[in-house]
């Protein structure tokens, strides 16, 4: 018997409560965009375009100002979201999976979809997977009942990799295990994903709660937008793309309301990492960097009648916290060896409850440890990207007080040497705990 399934079955048998297959447990919808920056949403200070539906979602729930992903590029960020573990623990912490790659998220890793499926949820992924495109790594072998989308990034469509003389094929488009198209017209990706999400919501068996993971390709380059949104914003194509993504959220919320299940659906909106061409103001850095702009992203959670409306949350939270939290919400009290925290109680009463500080570790695109945040302090020990070595010399160990210096502009390591040593110790302890 597959040891992974045995462990999962024992865990569910011991830890689960209320596992009748009915609609009392909330539906779970994760809306995950690609390379959308911290300031690329209206309520986060967007300029040149509007996002009324995302803004409405924030007014209906919680807007997080310190929401993080534990990686600054696609593959490791998605691995963390679906496993609840730092990417280094699942072997996907360095770079991204490419069309020529032969690795991916190993089948023995337990995903959020697998646990929810075993618990009676219908599970689906719509959009970008990017955790391995060989058969054993694909979504339908990782806990998802349905897959509608592409196996990796849209820029890998028919791309020639000069360094290893590899010509990638036209971007394959899947429905479950079958390729139903190749080199699809990317102008319609956002529209296609949205229509599929709405269709699945309308066709869901109301006797069974669902987990839907909507992983949009946009606004990852190359940018594409349908005719309806072309020229819609004052910012140009990038703004148009974000406005179509906002429309997508609006259509999904509308469908949930029309089916009478909006009140019983927890919606989570965030991005996989910081922007490549968008805005992370007032943060420093961008995608592929361990400055705040690479890891701190917009984060909104809505769950009518269960969490407060229109509150701004300054507590530090990450996508690692989603796995254990959603399991509790779904009736599964805990899973072993997860890196995040169960913040269900905090979400219900954030004005009165306080989250205990936990370190967040930042790995560079090269897979090397570069920084840690603990409380208000962030220590940088190395910098593979986002630092001009020729111009500025070797990167110096640097400490920032993010409470008063959100832009990481003033190094205070000399004034707080004891904090530097404390954070260095946290890094050392974490790395020593890893089993390679």
pTM metric for this prediction? 0.95
Residue 358: inside a domain, yes or no? no
Residue 257 to residues 190, 252, 262, Cα–Cα distance (Å): 21, 9, 5
pLDDT at 9: 54
Asked whether residue 5 is domain-assigned, the answer is no
Structural domain tally of the chain? 2
Same domain, 387 and 334: no
268, 61 Cβ separation under 8 angstroms: no
From the list 57, 208, 53, 242, the residue with the least C-alpha distance to 124 is 208
pLDDT in the model for residue 435: 72
18 is a domain residue: no
Write down the mean pLDDT value for the chain: 94
pLDDT in tens, 277-306: 999 999 999 999 999 999 999 999 999 999
CATH code at position 382: 3.30.1120.10
Residues 374 and 326 in one domain: no
pLDDT digits (tens, 9 = 90+) for 344-383: 999 999 999 999 999 999 999 999 999 999 999 999 999 9
Give dist(CA 295, CA 35) in Å, integer: 10
Q: Whose CA is closest to 377, among 411, 354, 339? A: 411
- pLDDT tens digits for 91-143? 999 999 999 999 999 999 999 999 999 999 999 999 999 999 999 999 999 99
Residue 247 has pLDDT above 60, yes or no: yes
Task: Out of 53, 93, 130, 216, pick the active-site residue.
Answer: 130
Measured distance CA(297)–CA(69) in Å, rounded: 7
Judged against a pLDDT cut of 60, whether residue 44 lies above it is answered with yes
The Cα-based distances of 59 to 308, 311, 377 in angstroms read: 9, 7, 29
3-state secondary structure of 44: helix
Q: For residue 288, is it within any domain?
A: yes
Domain of residue 390, residue span: 368-433
Local confidence band at 1 (pLDDT 50, 70, 90 cut-offs): very low
| Catalytic-role residue among 53, 74, 216, 220 | 74
* Residue 395 forms part of a structural domain: yes
CB 217 within 8 A of CB 35: no
278 and 394 in a common domain: no
CATH of the domain at 109: 3.40.720.10
Query: Are 135 and 220 part of one and the same domain?
Result: yes
Do 326 and 413 lie in one domain? The reply is: no
- 384 and 342, same structural domain? no
Q: Is 384 domain-assigned?
A: yes
Give the residue from 343, 261, 352, 350 showing the smallest Cα distance to 304.
Answer: 261
Residue at which a domain ends, from 287, 317, 348 = 348
Instruction: Pick the more confident residue, 5 or 173.
Output: 173
In the block, residue with structure tokens 């020990």: 381
Other beta carbons within 10 angstroms of residue 391's beta carbon come to: 6
- pLDDT of 263: 96
| Whether the Cβ atoms of residue 4 and residue 108 lie closer than 8 Å to each other | yes
Burial class (CB in 10 A: 0-12, 13-18, 19+), 195: middle
Residues 334 and 388 in one domain: no
Residue 8: pLDDT above 90? no
Q: Is 130 tagged catalytic? A: yes
**Which residues, including other chains, have CB under 8 Å from residue 401's CB and lie 6 or more apart?**
376, 377, 412
Residue 23 has pLDDT above 70, yes or no: no
Is 93 noted as a catalytic residue in this protein?
Answer: no
Tell me, yes or no, whether 229 and 132 share the same domain.
yes
Per the DSSP assignment, residues forming a β-bridge with 174 are: 149, 179
List 127's β-bridge partners, or say none. Answer: 149, 215
- Sign, CA dihedral 306-339-287-182, equals negative
Task: Judge whether 12 lies within some domain.
Answer: no
Asked if residue 323 and residue 375 are part of one domain, the reply reads no
Query: Could you tell me if 112 and 78 lie in one domain?
Result: yes
User: Could you tell me if residue 7 is inside a domain?
Assistant: no
Q: Any residues with CB less than 8 A from the CB of 117 and at least 6 apart, and which?
A: 123, 143, 144, 145, 211
Assess whether 309 and 173 both reside in one domain: yes
Q: 173 with 284, same domain?
A: yes
């Amino acid at each position: 018997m597959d040891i992974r399934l045995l462990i999962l079955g024992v865990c569910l048998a011991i830890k689960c409560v209320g596992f009748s297959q009915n609609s009392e447990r909330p539906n779970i919808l994760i809306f995950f965009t690609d390379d959308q920056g911290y300031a690329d949403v209206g309520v986060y200070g967007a300029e040149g375009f509007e996002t009324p539906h995302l803004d409405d979602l924030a007014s209906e729930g919680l807007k997080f100002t310190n929401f993080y992903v534990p990686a600054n590029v696609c593959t490791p960020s998605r691995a963390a979201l679906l496993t609840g573990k730092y990417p280094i623990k699942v072997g996907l912490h360095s770079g991204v999976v490419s069309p020529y790659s032969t690795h991916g998220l190993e089948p023995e890793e337990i995903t959020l979809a697998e646990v929810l499926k075993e618990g009676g949820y219908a599970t689906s992924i719509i959009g970008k997977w990017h955790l391995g495109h060989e058969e054993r790594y694909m979504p339908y072998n990782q806990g998802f009942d349905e897959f509608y989308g592409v196996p990796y990034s849209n820029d890998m469509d028919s791309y020639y990799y000069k360094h290893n003389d590899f010509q990638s094929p036209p971007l394959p488009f899947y429905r479950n295990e079958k390729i139903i198209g190749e080199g699809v017209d990317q102008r319609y990706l956002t529209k296609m994903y949205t229509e599929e999400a709405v269709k699945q919501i309308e066709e869901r068996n109301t006797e069974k709660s669902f987990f839907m993971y909507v992983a949009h390709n946009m606004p990852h380059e190359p940018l594409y937008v349908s005719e309806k949104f072309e020229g819609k914003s004052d910012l140009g194509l990038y703004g148009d793309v974000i406005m179509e993504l906002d429309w997508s959220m609006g259509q999904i919320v509308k469908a949930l309301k029309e089916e009478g299940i909006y009140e019983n659906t927890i919606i989570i909106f965030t991005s996989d990492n910081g922007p490549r061409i968008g805005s992370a103001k007032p943060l420093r850095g961008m995608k592929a960097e361990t400055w705040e702009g690479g890891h701190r992203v917009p984060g909104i959670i809505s769950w009518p009648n269960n969490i407060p409306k229109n509150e701004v949350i300054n507590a530090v939270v990450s996508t690692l916290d989603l796995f254990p939290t959603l399991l509790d919400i779904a009736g599964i009290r805990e899973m072993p060896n997860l890196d995040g925290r169960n913040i269900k109680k905090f979400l219900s009463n954030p004005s009165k409850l306080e989250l205990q500080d936990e370190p967040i570790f930042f790995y560079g695109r090269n897979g090397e440890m570069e920084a840690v945040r603990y409380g208000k302090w962030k220590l940088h020990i190395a910098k593979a990207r986002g630092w001009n070595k020729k111009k500025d010399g070797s990167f110096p160990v640097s400490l920032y007080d993010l409470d008063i210096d959100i832009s990481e502009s003033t190094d205070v390591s000399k004034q707080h040497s004891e904090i530097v040593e404390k954070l260095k110790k946290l890094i050392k302890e974490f790395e020593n705990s890893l089993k390679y």
